[in-house]
Structure 1
């Protein structure tokens, strides 16, 4: 859809609505974001409680993101057919019940199941937030509400790290999620303050599109999540199958991409024949809108990678408490919060294209800086400085890109914008977390195996007593405990600890440099964002055929 610039002074003034409905909307964003942000903080506690490796706990994050991304477009159509506020309330009830299961999960399997149910309810809540903002607010209030939604997401990250750090250290990880039971109940009560809406029984649900979209996302996420376990190219011994010796992980990714293209072709054909598509392609019919989606995927994937990497190193590698994670990440989360909230003040001075380029440049600079200064202590001031710089870029980009999508589409497409945003962000979060885990473990394995082979102290006889096919991130204390059950001498134990320490740090540094390269590549789609002149706002186009 075309976007034209008109002077801001010509925008009609709107009657100011009550902000009470926005409390329910913002709290809904907070409970979803809090749930995801609390998982990395609780990483160490869950690993100890369930007796599983950290990558298994990360699967909970991946499953959540996969379910949201795969079902959010279906959720948007359910909102249109039955009414946003009514369906929203049902989703909040499901979210609350799922948090009960999460809080009292006795096994990692039930924890992952709970996250899947939470993701299914969030698949409705995510597009509902955009639709409810469009229904309850207009003009400048709507822009403020969109900015508040971005700030709520950032605030949830701050709260999750503070509460998760304190509770995880002194009480346990379960009460962290127990809080969400009470807050989701409050959201349900406040939801009755939302404007009454009308159902649209004429809206049909494209089940073929649902299956294509969900299958595409499931295949892609499963592929990324198992790159390290099943093999990057050649099939590993624990791969479920192989294709002429090739790993199934990249095959699943390719199948997912093909199914995604099939979904777009099917949707375009359905729309051309006058039937209701699962996703209106009008929200993607301009270069600027597609650029916003690509850029949003990139920045959320980078954020998810960093949010997994930091707790992994602090709690698993260093063996420190959840509160140490909270303290280390606090500058980053606070910066994201304020950047998301204050970036709207620059909309009248800088074009979205400029902000996008500056934002990704800051992210790249921060990641390169971190790669050079990071040691085994995340609390050193150079590391904190790098996290703050990354937070400025990330917080600014998420709010900006969401605002570009919202202002480029008419009100009647608000739920489609919400589902597009939900699909993009949660697919990016799942892929970012899965890729970070595979990347770091893969780098660690390659570096460690090379160092072990080059060390004359670690004899083949000792190596035969240790499972080197499943190298993962462990603390030095855990490594010493494993070696105590072998014939290793004190000198060999010291050598193994040295290799473990150096390999972990090198894997982290290389991983950060790779992420910096991805941030630099993301400047390309950022350069295709809208180029409004300062003091201008995009004209909201009307829906085709209306």
Structure 2
């Protein structure tokens, strides 16, 4: 709890607003930066490799530290850590905005990801601390609804900012919700710890960060072609080192008394299958959210604003329908939705794969990209809420926080790994044949996610209508 006495309704509303704004900062950053990538490339250079690292530098840090964030918050206090994360995110956003070179921008994005790793789990932890029972479920629903607005708000505003003010402005827009959250939290303090503070396994955290870092650098450099900074042998060696470090983390996590990820969670069938589906579905989403925005601008020749508007209907579908499919999954079980949703999303990616069959002149390719986005958005709307419900419904309520963190980490790592391989898939440059290959990979990953759901997910007894 954030106070010794139960918080009042007014305090709860204020802290909920602070939690929404804090997580909004992180979600907004994730949805707004992809639109700015072509402009960043034109200004700072570096081609596909720079664009990958602007995305993956952030994702790498988030993936590496998100499991650690829960233990850090428990050890040092949710409010204290959340405030530090907000200040750090604002400072690193400013550094991104003034970065004179691609290297400085990528470094700032890595630091920004460390702060981002603390924002979302920290904001959810704040809600769990001050709400109980049905009020907690309602508060989490409000948090989900409002943070989903960033998916709608980010690309459109990002496109306008890039076209009117330049790419640097997209890193400044997040300062407003960060400042609002800090203002709302100014009077609150963490309660004193009851009992022994949580222990933090720093070696496991280091193994995770270094392992993911080596894998990411290796994949990006192998796919960089002429832009790669490392020779192929060094890149392969990094991949091997990364794999060894990740395996070392998994072995250590099974043996230490205070693991970052409780191994018992994976004994629940739906938890394991749900995270398996997450790995493939969100891996596909990593490519689907990155490459089309770049293709629309660099190959089809449209503006950043136009690229954002083409993706708008898909985002609206996800916001409007995700809750409805979640309710239906609660009534009938998640298995059918988690199976059908990725298959529908795969169909959207196959629409993209048809761009090479129409002439480059005219608007045929733009139409195919837009239609594919709508179909893919429908598939994702069908999938995400049932998937989340299946994963969290498979763990005890007392472990829902770490269950959510694990699923979030799997999603982030999946996106990190696939965006790291985008250079390999594209062949070093964004063009129509490369986009078709990306579409085929997205479709294949989605189908695998659906098959895992079909084979692994089990429905509970449906509720009465």
Q: How does 1:134-283 map to 2 (within 5 A)?
A: 134-191=128-185, 196-199=190-193, 201-229=196-224, 240-241=230-231, 247-270=233-256, 275-283=257-265
Q: Give the superposition deviation at 1:163.
A: 0.6
Structure 2, unpaired ranges of 5+: 1-7
Q: Distance in 2 between the 1:530 and 1:252 partners? A: 39
Task: Please tell me whether residue 391 in structure 1 is matched to residue 391 in structure 2.
Answer: no
Q: Distance in 2 between the 1:359 and 1:529 partners? A: 14
What is the DSSP-based 3-state SS (H/G/I as helix, E as strand, rest coil) of the residue aligned with 1:522?
helix
Q: Distance in 2 between the 1:524 and 1:193 partners? A: 50
Q: Distance in 2 between the 1:436 and 1:268 partners? A: 33
Aligned position for 2:5: none
Task: Mark the CA change 1:266 to 1:517 in structure 2 (over 3 Å): closer, same or farther.
Answer: same
Aligned position for 1:94: 88
Structure 1, unpaired ranges of 5+: 1-14, 231-235, 443-470, 474-503, 537-546
The equivalent position to 1:73 in structure 2, one of 67, 70, 89, is 67
Task: Mark the CA change 1:144 to 1:210 in structure 2 (over 3 Å): closer, same or farther.
Answer: same
Task: Mark the CA change 1:102 to 1:238 in structure 2 (over 3 Å): closer, same or farther.
Answer: closer
Q: Give the superposition deviation at 1:437.
A: 3.4
Q: Give the superposition deviation at 1:313.
A: 1.0
Q: How does 1:58-69 map to 2 (within 5 A)?
A: 58-69=52-63
Task: Mark the CA change 1:418 to 1:282 in structure 2 (over 3 Å): closer, same or farther.
Answer: same
Relative to its length, the structure with more helix (as a share) is 2
Cα deviation 1:399-438 (Å, max 9, x = unaligned): 3333333333345434423431332222122222222333
Aligned position for 1:542: none
Q: Give the superposition deviation at 1:325.
A: 1.0
Q: Give the superposition deviation at 1:176.
A: 2.2
The equivalent position to 2:457 in structure 1, one of 529, 543, 546, is 529
Q: Distance in 2 between the 1:179 and 1:217 partners? A: 29
Task: Please tell me whether residue 330 in structure 1 is matched to residue 347 in structure 2.
Answer: no
**Could you tell which deviates more after superposition, 87-96 or 412-421?**
412-421
RMSD across aligned positions (CA):
2.8
Task: Mark the CA change 1:300 to 1:197 in structure 2 (over 3 Å): closer, same or farther.
Answer: farther
Cα deviation 1:463-489 (Å, max 9, x = unaligned): xxxxxxxx623xxxxxxxxxxxxxxxx
Contact 2:299–2:432 (Cα < 8 Å) also in 1: no
Task: Mark the CA change 1:16 to 1:182 in structure 2 (over 3 Å): closer, same or farther.
Answer: closer
Cα deviation 1:485-513 (Å, max 9, x = unaligned): xxxxxxxxxxxxxxxxxxx3232223212
Task: Mark the CA change 1:365 to 1:140 in structure 2 (over 3 Å): closer, same or farther.
Answer: farther
In the superposition, the TM-score normalised over structure 2's length comes to: 0.88
Q: Distance in 1 between the 2:326 and 2:185 partners? A: 27
Query: Between Structure 1 and Structure 2, how many residues are aligned?
Result: 451
Task: Please tell me whether residue 421 in structure 1 is matched to residue 407 in structure 2.
Answer: yes
Q: Give the superposition deviation at 1:26.
A: 2.4
The equivalent position to 2:338 in structure 1, one of 350, 356, 359, is 356
Task: Mark the CA change 1:54 to 1:239 in structure 2 (over 3 Å): closer, same or farther.
Answer: closer
Task: Mark the CA change 1:105 to 1:239 in structure 2 (over 3 Å): closer, same or farther.
Answer: closer
Contact 2:211–2:245 (Cα < 8 Å) also in 1: yes
Q: Give the superposition deviation at 1:66.
A: 0.5
Q: Which has the larger radius of gyration?
A: 1
What is the DSSP-based 3-state SS (H/G/I as helix, E as strand, rest coil) of the residue aligned with 2:224?
helix
Aligned position for 2:394: 408
Contact 2:56–2:419 (Cα < 8 Å) also in 1: yes
Q: Give the superposition deviation at 1:198.
A: 4.8
Aligned position for 1:50: 44
The equivalent position to 1:507 in structure 2, one of 408, 414, 434, is 434
Task: Mark the CA change 1:23 to 1:283 in structure 2 (over 3 Å): closer, same or farther.
Answer: farther
Q: Give the superposition deviation at 1:266.
A: 1.0
Contact 1:165–1:322 (Cα < 8 Å) also in 2: yes
Contact 1:68–1:426 (Cα < 8 Å) also in 2: yes
Q: Give the superposition deviation at 1:520.
A: 0.9
Aligned position for 2:429: 472
Aligned position for 1:517: 444
Task: Mark the CA change 1:395 to 1:118 in structure 2 (over 3 Å): closer, same or farther.
Answer: farther
Q: Give the superposition deviation at 1:373.
A: 5.1
Contact 1:296–1:397 (Cα < 8 Å) also in 2: no
**Could you tell which deviates more after superposition, 250-259 or 417-426?**
250-259
Q: Distance in 1 between the 2:175 and 2:159 partners? A: 19
**Could you tell which deviates more after superposition, 193-202 or 75-84?**
193-202
Q: Distance in 2 between the 1:286 and 1:193 partners? A: 41
Task: Mark the CA change 1:411 to 1:378 in structure 2 (over 3 Å): closer, same or farther.
Answer: farther
Task: Please tell me whether residue 301 in structure 1 is matched to residue 288 in structure 2.
Answer: no
Q: Distance in 1 between the 2:324 and 2:183 partners? A: 30
Contact 1:148–1:341 (Cα < 8 Å) also in 2: no
Aligned position for 1:463: none
Contact 1:75–1:124 (Cα < 8 Å) also in 2: yes
Q: Distance in 1 between the 2:398 and 2:74 partners? A: 10
Q: Give the superposition deviation at 1:524.
A: 2.7
Q: Give the superposition deviation at 1:530.
A: 3.8
Task: Mark the CA change 1:50 to 1:238 in structure 2 (over 3 Å): closer, same or farther.
Answer: closer
Task: Mark the CA change 1:328 to 1:51 in structure 2 (over 3 Å): closer, same or farther.
Answer: same
Q: Give the superposition deviation at 1:183.
A: 1.4
